[in-house]
Amino acid sequence: MSRVKRPARSRRSPARSVLLHGTLLVASVIAIGPIVWVLLSSLKPGYAIQSSELTLFRDTTLANYAYVLTETNFPRWFLNSVIVAAFTMGIGIFLSATTGYAVSRFNFPGRRPLMMVFLVTQMFPVAILIVPIYTIMARLGLINTMPALIIAYLTIAVPFCAWMLKGYFDSIPTSLDEAAALDGCGPFATFWRVVLPLARPAVAVTAFYTFLTAWGEVAYASAFIQTDDKFTLAYGLQQFVPQFNPQWEYLTAAAVLVTVPAGLVFFFAQKHLVSGLTAGGTKG
Amino acid sequence: MTTVTAEPAPPSTPSGRSARPSRLRRSWDKHWYAWAMVLPVVIVLAVLIFYPLFRGIWLSFTNLNEANQVAEICTKSITGSEVCAENPNRWEFVGLDNYVRVLTGEVGEFWQWTGTTLIWTFVCVAFHFGLGLGLATMLNRPMRFRSLYRVLLVLPWAVPAFVSAFAWKFIFNERFGLANALLSAVGIDPVSWFADRWTALLTAIVTNIWLGVPFMMVALLGGMQTIPSELYEAAEIDGASAWQRFKNITLPGLRPVSMTVILLGTIWTFNMFPIIFLVTEGQPAGQSEILVTGAYRAAFEGIRNYSLASTYGVLILSILLVFSVFYRRALRKQGEVW
């Protein structure tokens, strides 16, 4: 980004510079404020969280983390979530990439309806149509298994990702495909060895999006999973906030632990976020 | 979603009038590869989206619920053998009854929820887009710490929605939340956020705005970077002010991206389940419910009423379909190919 050298148009006056940085600073504080506040709270013991006094640090302790990691099923839920998210991400990238490529490069009958279908799937009130989906899962014998979740998350993530990748593939010149074909690549080899590597930014965004979808989903997880050892984090965490005796101290600690992996994925994807989403957006 | 700008594949021109089977055959030879590539997605979508959809539409005309779903009632007799009799109250086709009951307000608060949903969607999307556009414009100029600002501003996107929901619920806690602590620090009485319909809705809207701005910002920033910088240089030479450049170059250049993200944002916000469900929980007394959460509670609390849930699902889908048809038409009138 910073390599792009813009002609030094209108040098900013100091006042405007202050205004610009001030606004961005305030916005950044608002953006990370809640995250930081939860992080700080997670280091306080329960009574300090529940006091109405405003303090940043008070009796700092890691006891909440120790409790969450050793006294609850948290590690197990964490592992479940990692498995579900990893599979959703892997399969999701593959499916959206092949679909996006087909829609971008081949003018086959059914292409336009498929793109419309992708949009319509976004309109589904998931929470409400969950029952028919539950019935299907039950008939397939998938209730209380991770494949049920993986399949369900794919239906949420793949349409958007395929559409986004299609936009990105559109921006890659077809002359590259033709050159690859001349060199003896089959259609799949062209896609896999030539086009996909060029679409790395969009693939990074897809990875980020599919991971987050699987990592943070609540409705399906609470419907399809029934036993404690199969819970994912999103659902397991709700056990810390029962209606009448919410255990905020454990919840905040768990929330921090949950956010860390998502943050890691974000860290690797963030460089590509802007350029990866771009093409999808402009060509939408 | 489908553009016709770049049509990379060669146009399919069946030469002459061939007989039907051979045309099918040729079509298969030509396109089997593309079909094979989209097949897995089509199967999964068909099984998990379209079958439930059609089943849902059918169920919305019945009175199926948890209590009347079995066809036979079996009782164990003393001797141990099972006696089965037909369930006299078995679920049946009831025509438009469900729709009448929902739309007249006999069950649930359809019109109130719809009103709340419209306010919620409009306010959220307006702020998402406005703030996203403002921040993207600022981030699109060369300056120090640009990448740092960008990472910080996009960070809320990386936080799972349910974690954000809990975080904000925690912040708006009436007794020890950060919001009230800050208010009392400047001498304002603490507010019991969830006791009033509008303040409760406000907490949910704030949460959702915080959550949704990064996506808009990133998409718009991406769109801005595709606008050729020559346009800006030319405008500058012609003496256009910063505002004129923004209005006459940036905004028109962003049109395609904006139209897409506004449509997607509207659909996503309309159906945004976790925020209302977890942050306000409908407090006070269900007054801050939007359609999806209200329908969820109406249909699934107590005896699970599958037919009622389907009715709401069909209504919500219809509203969104109508909206996107009008949206498309409005765009087309302005010459947008989409």
| Inter-chain CB proximity A98 and B55 less than 8 Å | no
| Inter-chain CB proximity A125 and B295 less than 8 Å | yes
| Cβ-Cβ contacts under 8 Å, A283 against chain B | 3, 5-6, 256
User: Tokens 């009175």 label which residue?
Assistant: B63
CA distance B2 to chain A (A): 6
Please give the average per-residue pLDDT across B102-109, as a whole number. Answer: 78
- The residue ranking higher by pLDDT, A266 or A53, is A266
List the single residue in A17, A34, A136 with the smallest CB-CB distance to B52: A136
Res B121: pLDDT: 92
Res A9: pLDDT: 47
| Inter-chain CB proximity B182 and A54 less than 8 Å | yes
Res A87: pLDDT: 92
Res B123: pLDDT: 93
| Inter-chain CB proximity B273 and A106 less than 8 Å | no
pLDDT score of B280 more than 90: no
Please give the average per-residue pLDDT across B262-289, as a whole number. Answer: 82
Going from the C-alpha of A111 to that of each of A38, A101, A163, the distances in angstroms are 46, 11, 12
Q: Is residue A211 part of a domain?
A: yes
Q: Is residue A156 part of a domain?
A: yes
The reply to whether A189 and A233 lie within a common domain is yes
Nearest CA in chain A to B8: A105
Q: Chain A interface, mutation test: which of B43, B51, B170, most A Cβ atoms within 10 Å?
A: B170
What is residue A53's three-state secondary structure?
coil
Please give the average per-residue pLDDT across A209-219, as a whole number. Answer: 85
For residue B17, what pLDDT band results from cuts at 50, 70 and 90? very low
The reply to whether A86 and A39 lie within a common domain is no
Going from the C-alpha of B266 to that of each of A153, A210, B119, B154, B262, the distances in angstroms are 21, 20, 12, 20, 6
The reply to whether A31 and A106 lie within a common domain is no
For residue A133, what pLDDT band results from cuts at 50, 70 and 90? confident
Please give the average per-residue pLDDT across A7-14, as a whole number. Answer: 60
The reply to whether A55 and A143 lie within a common domain is no
Q: Locate A61 and state its tokens.
A: 């302790």
Q: For chain A, give the number of residues.
A: 284
Neighbour-count burial for B140-150, b at 16+ CB within 10 Å, e otherwise: beeeeebeebb
Burial class (CB in 10 A: 0-12, 13-18, 19+), A107: middle
CA distance B52 to chain A (A): 5
Please give the average per-residue pLDDT across A182-209, as a whole number. Answer: 83
Decide if A249 touches B, using CB distance below 8 A.
no
pLDDT score of A271 more than 70: yes
Please give the average per-residue pLDDT across B13-42, as a whole number. Answer: 69
Q: Is residue A4 part of a domain?
A: no
List the single residue in A28, A54, A115 with the smallest CB-CB distance to B181: A54
Please give the average per-residue pLDDT across B4-20, as a whole number. Answer: 45
pLDDT score of A195 more than 90: no
For residue B131, what pLDDT band results from cuts at 50, 70 and 90? very high
Q: Domain count of chain A?
A: 2
- Least confident range from A24-33, A90-99, A212-221: namely A212-221
Domain residue limits at A138: 73-283
The reply to whether A26 and A159 lie within a common domain is no
Q: Is residue A6 part of a domain?
A: no
pLDDT score of B142 more than 90: no
Res A11: pLDDT: 63
Q: What is the CATH number of the domain that holds A112?
A: 1.10.3720.10
Q: Chain B interface, mutation test: which of A4, A274, A277, most B Cβ atoms within 10 Å?
A: A274
The reply to whether A111 and A169 lie within a common domain is yes
The reply to whether A118 and A29 lie within a common domain is no
Please give the average per-residue pLDDT across B186-191, as a whole number. Answer: 79
Res A51: pLDDT: 67
| Mean pLDDT over the full length of chain B | 79
Res B122: pLDDT: 93
| Cβ-Cβ contacts under 8 Å, B58 against chain A | none
CA B173/CA B177 separation, integer angstroms: 4
Q: Is residue A226 part of a domain?
A: yes
Decide if A282 touches B, using CB distance below 8 A.
yes
| Cβ-Cβ contacts under 8 Å, A27 against chain B | 135, 149, 153
| Inter-chain CB proximity A7 and B233 less than 8 Å | yes
Q: Is residue A271 part of a domain?
A: yes
Total CB pairs under 8 A between chain A and B: 308
| Mean pLDDT over the full length of chain A | 79
| Inter-chain CB proximity A110 and B233 less than 8 Å | no
The reply to whether A150 and A28 lie within a common domain is no
CA A35/CA B156 separation, integer angstroms: 8
CA distance A6 to chain B (A): 8
pLDDT digits (tens, 9 = 90+) for B197-216: 888 888 889 999 998 899 88
The reply to whether A54 and A93 lie within a common domain is no
Q: What is the pTM of this model?
A: 0.81
| Inter-chain CB proximity B310 and A129 less than 8 Å | yes
Q: Is residue A173 part of a domain?
A: yes
CA B98/CA B233 separation, integer angstroms: 61
Q: Is residue A66 part of a domain?
A: no
| Cβ-Cβ contacts under 8 Å, A123 against chain B | 267, 271, 316-317, 320-321, 324
pLDDT score of B1 more than 50: no
Contacts of A207 (CB under 8 A, 6+ apart): A89, A93, A265, A269
Res A254: pLDDT: 84
| Cβ-Cβ contacts under 8 Å, A136 against chain B | 47-48, 51-52
Decide if A34 touches B, using CB distance below 8 A.
yes
pLDDT digits (tens, 9 = 90+) for A91-113: 999 888 888 888 888 877 778 88
Res A3: pLDDT: 46
DSSP state of B10: P
The reply to whether A105 and A173 lie within a common domain is yes
Res B18: pLDDT: 46
Res A2: pLDDT: 43
The reply to whether A104 and A228 lie within a common domain is yes
Whether domain B98-333 has CATH 1.10.3720.10: the reply is yes
| Cβ-Cβ contacts under 8 Å, B37 against chain A | 98-99, 101-102, 106
Percent of chain A residues topping a pLDDT of 90: 3
CA distance A223 to chain B (A): 12
The reply to whether A210 and A269 lie within a common domain is yes
| Cβ-Cβ contacts under 8 Å, B135 against chain A | 24, 27
Q: Which of B315, B279, B278 is nearest to B295 (CA)?
A: B315
